């Protein structure tokens, strides 16, 4: 019998793009783009990941517009950073890795000091707890012209990303950001054709997908990351996610990435492992927000002990439902897990923390059949995204030095 590991380390295609293997670096906003400009440290980080043998790395967060950023130190897609992005991508490509960008819009989940509007825009009125101390707490309901405008903005950002050299785009449909605010019945209370049934709540997502496709062409690789559940009562459920995946496939997505949880309501569901609360309080600059995190912690930061492949059963339902590519993400740290995921029919695996712990994971895993990654899921790296200098593995701080 052939070893499923061989499948993982063989070349694989996403639409017209060939990857040297089936391992993809998961989007992990690295906090290394001060003022919204990619720094040398960010380039070094992805170059190092490329040198470790990854098939494709994913650069996050590529906001569709300035107001699509959670804060002002995230990149947004505009001509002002074209030279930096072009050079960045060329440098990483020299390692043999392909380069994708995660295209997102935060919607109403923002504390962006450069926010140009009066209020953050969401599908419906509501409260944006993240913006409480930034004057951005009251969410305004998007008008239909504003919805059409956002669709156009995201589509044009995709065209820009292709033009600077990104070889694939991962659209962020999950984690409580802009598009998923429309998908979730928890945040979308609209009475028009963008609210109500799942079909209606998916309208914005599908319009965005169609516009992105129009701007990048039929042969360009498009991935999309979804939340299989919001993890809160009244939110998207695992059952919904099977339908969501089918709709995105019908809309022309090449690969669906099966994540879960929301940064705004239930972040630990997407990570699992040790609580991020102590680290978030430590690195939060605003005293009021520190108090806010402490108060919100029991409701928002639930306890989800780490397990290998913690999303596998739910992702399997999507694998079984759609014909397009499916990428597994969430707790892959050993070659045995790679074998299980590949054997279950998934096309790709995304690796997040395991690569922050050991950027040589792909090379090591290919050379040593019993490879085990040592990430202990303390989640301290994830609490550093707004710390000076951004993320690193606290167990191995010299990894990307
Ligand atoms: C430091 C850090 C930053 C992250 N930033 C993002 C992000 O920008 N976009 C995203 O979709 N997911 C983000 N994630 C979630 C990862 O992409 C991935 O879904 C999650 O870490 C589970 O995969 P893992 O078990 O391989 O780490 C982040 C995770 C970490 C640890
Ligand atoms: S800090 Fe290191 S050990 Fe802890 S979760 Fe991040 S990568 Fe893993």
Give the dihedral of Cα atoms 370, 375, 377, 379; nearest 10 deg: -150
Atom 21 of ligand 1: nearest residue by CA position: 352
Find the 316 Cα to ligand 2 centroid distance in Å.
26
* 272 in contact with ligand 2, CB cutoff 6 A: no
CA-to-CA distance for 314 and 292, rounded, in angstroms?
32
Query: Is 261 within 8 Å of 304 (Cβ atoms)?
Result: no
Please name every residue paired with 141 in a beta bridge, in sequence order, or none if there are none. Answer: 122
pLDDT at residue 367, rounded to an integer: 96
Which ligand 1 atom sits nearest the alpha carbon of residue 385?
1
pLDDT at residue 352, rounded to an integer: 98
pLDDT band at 71 (very low <50, low <70, confident <90, very high): very high
Find the 8 Cα to ligand 1 centroid distance in Å.
21
* 393 in contact with ligand 2, CB cutoff 6 A: yes
Instruction: Check whether 297 has a pLDDT greater than 90.
Output: no
Average pLDDT rounded to a whole number, residues 126-144? 94
Mean pLDDT, the chain, rounded, equals: 96
Let me know if 177 is a catalytic residue. Answer: yes
Mutate to test the pocket of ligand 1, among 25, 29, 379 (most ligand atoms within 8 A of CB): 29
- Which secondary-structure segment (H or E) carries 298? helix 287-300
* 395 in contact with ligand 2, CB cutoff 6 A: yes
Instruction: Check whether 288 has a pLDDT greater than 90.
Output: no
Average pLDDT rounded to a whole number, residues 82-106? 98
**Range name among 72-81, 272-281, 294-303, 379-388 with the lowest pLDDT average:** 294-303
Instruction: Check whether 397 has a pLDDT greater than 80.
Output: yes
Find the 26 Cα to ligand 1 centroid distance in Å.
6
Query: Is 38 within 8 Å of 72 (Cβ atoms)?
Result: no
Find the 48 Cα to ligand 1 centroid distance in Å.
18
Atom 3 of ligand 2: nearest residue by CA position: 375
- The ligand minimizing its distance to the Cα of 357 is 2
Pair type for strands 138-141 and 126-127: antiparallel
pLDDT band at 305 (very low <50, low <70, confident <90, very high): very high
Tell me which fold the domain 4-384 belongs to: TIM Barrel (3.20.20)
- The ligand minimizing its distance to the Cα of 359 is 2
Find the 377 Cα to ligand 2 centroid distance in Å.
5
343-368 per-position pLDDT tens digit: 999 999 999 999 999 999 999 999 99
Give the dihedral of Cα atoms 156, 161, 164, 168; nearest 10 deg: -140
Can you give the residue ranges of every domain in the chain? 4-384
pTM of the complete model? 0.97
Find the 306 Cα to ligand 2 centroid distance in Å.
12
pLDDT at residue 1, rounded to an integer: 62
Which ligand 1 atom sits nearest the alpha carbon of residue 332?
26
- The ligand minimizing its distance to the Cα of 308 is 1
Residue ranges lining ligand 1, Cβ < 6 Å:
26-29, 60-61, 102, 172, 175, 225, 259, 270-271, 329-332, 351-354, 381-382, 385, 391
How wide is the angle at C-alpha 243 spanned by C-alphas 352 and 156, nearest 5°?
Answer: 65
From the list 61, 76, 177, 328, the catalytic residue is: 177
Query: Is 223 within 8 Å of 173 (Cβ atoms)?
Result: no
* 353 in contact with ligand 2, CB cutoff 6 A: yes
147-163 per-position pLDDT tens digit: 999 999 999 999 999 99
pLDDT at residue 287, rounded to an integer: 84
* 87 in contact with ligand 2, CB cutoff 6 A: no
Close Cβ partners of 391 (under 8 Å, ≥ 6 residues apart): 28, 30, 31, 32, 356, 381, 382, 384, 385
């Amino acid at each position: 019998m052939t070893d499923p590991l061989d499948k993982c380390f063989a070349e694989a295609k996403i639409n017209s793009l060939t990857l040297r293997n089936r391992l993809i670096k998961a989007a992990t906003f690295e906090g290394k783009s001060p003022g919204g400009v990619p720094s040398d440290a960010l380039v070094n980080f992805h170059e190092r990941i490329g040198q470790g043998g990854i098939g494709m790395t994913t650069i996050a967060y590529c906001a569709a517009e300035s107001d699509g950023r959670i804060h002002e130190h995230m990149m947004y897609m505009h001509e002002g950073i074209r030279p930096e992005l072009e050079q960045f991508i060329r440098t990483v490509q020299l390692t043999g890795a392909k380069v994708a960008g995660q295209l997102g819009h935060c919607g109403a989940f923002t504390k962006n000091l450069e926010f140009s509007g009066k209020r953050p825009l969401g599908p419906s009125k509501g409260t944006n707890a993240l913006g409480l101390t930034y004057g951005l707490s009251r969410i305004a309901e998007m008008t239909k012209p504003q919805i059409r405008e956002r669709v156009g903005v995201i589509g044009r950002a995709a065209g820009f990303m292709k033009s600077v050299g990104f070889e694939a785009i991962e659209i962020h449909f999950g984690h409580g950001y802009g598009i998923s605010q429309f998908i979730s019945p928890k945040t979308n209370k609209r009475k028009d054709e963008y609210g109500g049934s799942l079909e209606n709540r998916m309208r914005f997502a599908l319009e965005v997908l169609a516009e992105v496709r129009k701007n990048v062409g039929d042969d360009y690789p498009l991935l999309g990351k979804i939340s299989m559940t919001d993890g809160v009562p009244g939110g998207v459920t695992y059952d919904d996610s099977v339908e969501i995946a089918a709709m995105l496939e019908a809309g022309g997505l090449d690969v669906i990435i099966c994540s879960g949880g929301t940064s705004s309501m239930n972040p630990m569901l997407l990570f699992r492992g040790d609580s991020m609360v102590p680290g978030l309080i430590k690195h939060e600059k605003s005293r009021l927000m520190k108090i806010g995190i402490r108060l919100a912690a029991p409701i928002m930061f639930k306890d989800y002990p780490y397990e290998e492949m913690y999303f596998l059963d739910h992702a399997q339902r999507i694998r079984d439902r759609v014909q397009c590519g499916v990428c597994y993400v969430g707790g892959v740290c050993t070659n045995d897990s790679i074998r299980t995921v590949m054997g279950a029919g998934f096309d790709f695996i995304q690796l997040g923390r395991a690569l922050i712990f050991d950027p040589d994971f792909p090379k090591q895993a290919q050379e040593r059949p019993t490879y085990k990654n040592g990430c202990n899921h303390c989640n301290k790296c994830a609490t550093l995204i707004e710390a000076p200098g951004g993320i690193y593995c606290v167990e191995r701080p010299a990894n990307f030095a």
